[in-house]
Amino acid sequence: MTDFPPLQNDLLLRAARREPVERTPVWIMRQAGRYLPEYRALRADEAFFDVVRTPELATEVTLQPLRRFPLDAAIIFSDILVVPQALGLRVEMIPGRGPYFPDPLRTVEDLRRLRRPDVREALRYMLEAITMTRKALAGRVPLIGFCGAPWTLMAYMVEGGGSKTFARAKGWLYRQPEASHRLLSLLTDVLVEFLIAQIDAGAQVVQVFDSWAGVLSPDLFRTFALPYLRRIGEEVGKARPEVPRIVFARGAHASLAELAEAGYDVVGLDWTIDPRQARELTGGRVALQGNLDPCALYAEPETIRRLTHRMLEAFGPRGHIANLGHGLHPDHNPDHVRAFVEAVHDYVPVASE
Binding residues for substrate: 30-34, 49, 79, 156, 211, 326
Is 314 in contact with 276 (CB distance < 8 Å)?
yes
31 touching ligand CP3, by CB under 6 A: yes
Shortest Cβ 58–ligand CP3 spacing (Å): 9
Q: In angstroms, what CA-CA distances link 44 with 37, 48, 208, 275?
A: 10, 10, 29, 39
Residue 32 or 215: the one with the smaller Cβ distance to ligand CP3 is 32
Structure letter (DSSP) for residue 242? T
Shortest Cβ 352–ligand CP3 spacing (Å): 32
| Catalytically annotated residue among 35, 39, 156, 347 | 156
Residue 93 or 111: the one with the smaller Cβ distance to ligand CP3 is 93
Shortest Cβ 61–ligand CP3 spacing (Å): 8
Residue 87 or 347: the one with the smaller Cβ distance to ligand CP3 is 87
298 touching ligand CP3, by CB under 6 A: no
74 touching ligand CP3, by CB under 6 A: no
> How many whole angstroms separate alpha carbon 170 and alpha carbon 152?
11
Contact segment (CB under 6 A) with ligand CP3 among 32-40, 120-128, 174-182, 314-322 equals 32-40
| Catalytically annotated residue among 10, 39, 53, 79 | 79
Considering only residues 15, 24, 33, 332, which one is a binding residue for ligand CP3 as defined by CB under 6 A? 33
> How many whole angstroms separate alpha carbon 145 and alpha carbon 199?
7
211 touching ligand CP3, by CB under 6 A: yes
Cβ-based burial of 321 (10 A; exposed 0-12, middle 13-18, buried ≥19): buried
Is 145 in contact with 13 (CB distance < 8 Å)?
no
> How many whole angstroms separate alpha carbon 200 and alpha carbon 253?
32
Is 58 in contact with 78 (CB distance < 8 Å)?
yes
Query: At 133, is the secondary structure helix, strand, or coil?
Result: helix
For ligand CP3, the binding residues (CB under 6 A) are 29-34, 43, 48, 75, 77-81, 93, 95, 98-99, 146, 162, 209, 211, 327
